[in-house]
Amino acid sequence: MKKLAILGAGGFAREVEYLVRELNQVRPEYDFLGFLVSDVSLLRETDSRSQVLGDLGWLAENRVDALAFGIGNPQAKLRIAAELATKFPDVEWPSLIHPTAQFDFESAKIGRGVVVCAGCVGSVNMTLDDFSMINKGCMIGHEAYIGKWAVVNAAANISGGVILEDGVLVGTGASVLQYRRIGANAVVGSGAVVVKDVDPAITVFGNPARRIFKDAAE
């Protein structure tokens, strides 16, 4: 059994821990150790405090074989992974795909550290790049590309030929119509319907999706 810790301690981290348990029911592979956070002083009431091992420094003194992200914020994942990659280059980042996910795995390209939750349905020739995350009940169309660090939240519909560039966040229940491109680090709000391309690093809401405000960095 590989000793595995999950980064994060909130609701999504608990969902990833549940995913690991479901995978172990099919084939025992992971020994879940607990959760790791960047700063234990920032833990909230809604976090799984009793299962927190410590901060990232815990890894320097304890052996783990594998790590998984239980964090739904693309930028936070990118920041933490960059730190850990240099300090712990030998730690595995397995792709965790729920047994109920229905994909054409023969034609799919799946990177490392990918998380696919329960009830997702995908088509052919999809690409899920490194550390991307597909939450519960999503639909992913043919030839869709989900970029590095991208997060697709529950019940979203990503149509055929869609490109989500690196760091994109798609909100719960949103739809992106066929062959649209969502630029890097853009945010598609919950329930939005994207009918045209979205520029990088902006936020869109509504049906049809429109830009509401500029990114804070602009």
Are 34 and 108 within one domain? no
Task: State whether 40 and 76 are in the same domain.
Answer: yes
> What domain range is 44 assigned to?
2-87
- Alpha carbon distance 194, 200 (integer Å): 14
Q: Which pLDDT score, from 0 to 100, does residue 198 have?
A: 98
Q: Is residue 209 part of a domain?
A: no
User: How many Å apart are CA 110 and CA 43, to the nearest integer?
Assistant: 32
On whether the CB atoms of residues 169 and 151 are closer than 8 A, the answer is yes
In this prediction, residue 158 carries a pLDDT of 98
Q: Are 104 and 185 members of one domain?
A: yes
Instruction: Report residue 27 as tokens.
Output: 């084939």
Does the pLDDT value for residue 216 go beyond 70? no
- Residue ending a domain, among 32, 58, 87, is 87
Residues 80 and 141 in one domain: no
Q: Of 63, 87, 111, which closes a domain?
A: 87
Q: What is the pLDDT of residue 213?
A: 62
Q: Is the pLDDT of residue 212 over 80?
A: no
User: Domain check: are 139 and 175 in the same one?
Assistant: yes
**For the whole prediction, is pTM greater than 0.75?**
yes
Tokens of 56: 């990232």
Mean pLDDT of 4-32: 97
In a shared domain, residues 122 and 198: yes
In a domain, 6, yes or no: yes
Does residue 149 lie within any of the structural domains?
yes
Q: Which of 87, 111, 134 is the last residue of a domain?
A: 87
* Structure-token match 């790791």, residue found: 36
147 occurs within a structural domain: yes
Report the number of distinct structural domains present in the chain.
2
What integer pLDDT is reported at residue 110 of this predicted model?
Answer: 97
Instruction: Please calculate the CA angle 141-142-146 and round it to the nearest 5 degrees.
Output: 70
What CATH number has the domain bearing residue 83?
3.40.50
Local confidence band at 81 (pLDDT 50, 70, 90 cut-offs): confident
Q: Tell which residue, 119, 130, 192, has the closest CA to residue 166.
A: 130
Residue labelled with tokens 């607990």: 34
- Position 217 scores a pLDDT of 43
Contacts 24+ apart (CB under 8 A), 132-138: 133/69, 133/72, 135/12, 135/15, 135/72, 135/172, 136/15
Instruction: Check if the beta carbon of residue 200 is closer than 8 Å to that of residue 215.
Output: no
Q: How far is CA 6 from the centre of its chain?
A: 13
Alpha helices in 27-168 (DSSP H): 74-87
Rounded mean pLDDT, 81-98: 91
Better-predicted residue by pLDDT, 90 or 36: 36
Residue 210 lies in a domain: no
Tell me what percent of the residues of the chain surpass a pLDDT of 90. Answer: 91
What is the Cβ-side half-sphere exposure of residue 23, based on CA atoms within 13 angstroms? 22
